[in-house]
């Protein structure tokens, strides 16, 4: 973890306290805090990137603020001023920007979190909560180049369902995925492909895309729609917008099934399949284990679309390409000044 953290406390009586950036420390907690018993917690995953000239950027952070707010209110926890929180996070990144690695495709991971701190065994909206943000350096996801993975699609395990909170970044969505992940690994697969009935929804903790020749003979990039079953990923949204900008093939958000994938695989119509998320940007998939048989993706020609999307997005994230999605945290002109700052409280 980096040296500092952002902490803001809330009570129903007094509202939000003044935000404080302070040295990283443990959080004291009452054993009856409802976050420990009922999972009243939500979080976000963001990154700060250092460009070649040492300017610091975040990537579409307003999207994360919107999603974070949606998660907290869905769990009955307090809302917050999204613009003000983003300013506080940017200041935290400036304070600890020396923690951002210089290595290529490295970054500073940012984890905003909100938890209920009310000490009660009652199941209800909390009267007290804490919002905190911690950060830490992360290296490149693909240290030796982009490599495809295999997935397990087991219909016995369901990540989300209509009316649930599968579209929110709630802590309770993630714990139940650990056991199926162990099963996937025991079968030689890297991650789980999550199905709802036979619908393809997500892969691991990422959205999933398929680039194929559809039943009408069209080249199409397809991903599941935002119907409440999947997380509205920032990377997902960005890849869709980039692909639509190119206008080179059909781009669709619609329901598709594992059985459509099986048929397309047998007919040689699947070009590429990849996951998409903050951690890896894109992650190519070469095969899916379903009912003891593999659905295979022909990777003999590589994965040119996956690599193209990776380059396009990372060029924006690292400031190699100017784009309105980039949020400037600190320019190279202010770097020396900010390195002298040790602690900020406000």
- Tokens representing residue 119 in the block: 């000490």
> DSSP assignment, residue 94?
H
Residue 333's pLDDT is what?
64
Phi-psi region at 40: left, alpha or beta (left = phi > 0; alpha = psi -120 to 50): beta
CA distances, 232 to each of 110, 145, 164, 228, 236 (Å): 18, 27, 14, 9, 7
| The residue to which tokens 């982009």 are assigned | 146
* Per-residue model confidence (pLDDT) at position 104: 85
Q: Per-residue pLDDT tens, the chain, 346 aa: give them.
A: 999 999 999 999 999 999 999 999 999 999 999 999 999 999 999 999 999 999 999 999 999 999 999 999 999 999 999 999 999 999 999 999 999 999 888 999 999 999 999 999 999 999 999 999 999 999 987 666 688 999 999 999 999 999 999 999 999 999 999 999 999 999 999 999 999 999 999 999 999 999 999 999 999 999 999 999 999 999 999 999 999 999 999 999 999 999 999 999 999 999 999 999 999 999 999 999 999 999 999 999 999 999 999 999 999 999 999 999 999 999 876 555 545 544 444 3
Task: Reduce the DSSP state of residue 4 to 3 states and report it.
Answer: strand
> 152 and 184 in contact (C-beta within 8 Å)?
yes
What is the structure's pLDDT at 117?
Answer: 98
Q: Note whether 40 and 115 are within 8 A (CB).
A: yes
Contact predicate 55/100, CB 8 Å: no
* pLDDT score recorded for residue 141: 78
Q: Report how far apart the first and last C-alpha atoms of the chain are (Å, whole number).
A: 22
SS3 call for 97: helix
DSSP string, 253-312: E---BHHHHHHHHHTT-EEEEEEEETTTEEEEEEEEEETTEEEE---TT--HHHHHHHHH
pLDDT, position 346? 33
**Burial class for 41, CB neighbours closer than 10 Å (0-12, 13-18, 19+):** buried
Question: pLDDT tens across 204-250, in order?
Answer: 999 999 999 999 999 999 999 999 999 999 999 999 999 999 999 99
Name the residue among 314, 293, 288 with its Cα closest to residue 151.
288
Residue 156 pairs with which residues in a beta bridge? Answer: none
pLDDT digits (tens, 9 = 90+) for 16-53: 999 999 999 999 999 999 999 999 999 999 999 999 99
Contacts 24+ apart (CB under 8 A), 320-323: 320/51, 320/52
Within 10 Å of residue 321's Cβ, how many Cβ atoms?
14
- Distance CA(273)–CA(254), nearest Å, equals 15
Please list the alpha-helical segments (H only) found in the chain: 34-38, 61-74, 82-95, 178-186, 234-246, 258-266, 304-317, 335-339
Q: So what's the pLDDT on residue 144?
A: 60
């Amino acid at each position: 973890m980096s040296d500092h953290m952002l902490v803001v406390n809330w009570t129903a009586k007094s509202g939000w306290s003044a935000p404080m950036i302070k040295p990283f420390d443990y959080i004291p907690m009452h054993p009856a805090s409802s976050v420990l018993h009922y999972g009243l917690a939500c979080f976000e995953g963001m990154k700060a990137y250092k460009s070649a000239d040492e300017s610091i950027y975040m990537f579409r952070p307003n999207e994360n603020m919107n999603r974070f707010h949606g998660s907290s209110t869905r769990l009955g926890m307090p809302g917050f001023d999204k613009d003000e929180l983003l300013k506080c996070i940017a200041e935290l990144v400036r304070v600890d920007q020396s923690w951002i690695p210089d290595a290529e495709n490295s970054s500073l991971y940012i984890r905003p979190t909100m938890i209920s701190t009310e000490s009660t065994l009652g199941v209800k909206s909390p009267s007290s909560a804490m919002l905190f943000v911690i950060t830490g350096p992360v290296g490149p996801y693909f240290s030796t180049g982009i490599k495809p993975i295999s997935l397990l699609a087991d219909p016995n395990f369901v990540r989300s369902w209509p009316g649930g909170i599968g579209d929110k970044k709630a802590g309770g969505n993630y714990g139940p995925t650990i056991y199926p992940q162990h099963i996937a690994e025991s079968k030689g697969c890297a991650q789980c492909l999550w199905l709802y009935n036979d619908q393809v929804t997500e892969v691991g903790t990422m959205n999933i895309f398929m680039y194929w020749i559809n039943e009408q003979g069209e080249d199409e990039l397809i991903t599941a729609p935002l119907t409440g079953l999947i997380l509205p990923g920032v990377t997902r949204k960005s890849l869709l917008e980039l692909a639509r900008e190119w206008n080179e093939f059909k781009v669709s958000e619609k329901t598709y099934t594992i059985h459509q994938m099986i048929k397309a695989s047998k007919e040689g119509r699947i070009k590429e399949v990849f996951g998409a998320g903050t951690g890896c940007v894109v992650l190519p998939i070469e095969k899916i284990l379903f009912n003891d048989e593999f659905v295979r993706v022909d990777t003999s020609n590589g994965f040119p679309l996956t690599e193209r999307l990776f380059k396009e997005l990372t060029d924006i994230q690292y400031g190699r390409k100017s784009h309105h999605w980039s949020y400037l945290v600190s320019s190279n002109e202010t770097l020396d000044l900010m390195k002298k700052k040790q602690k900020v409280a406000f």
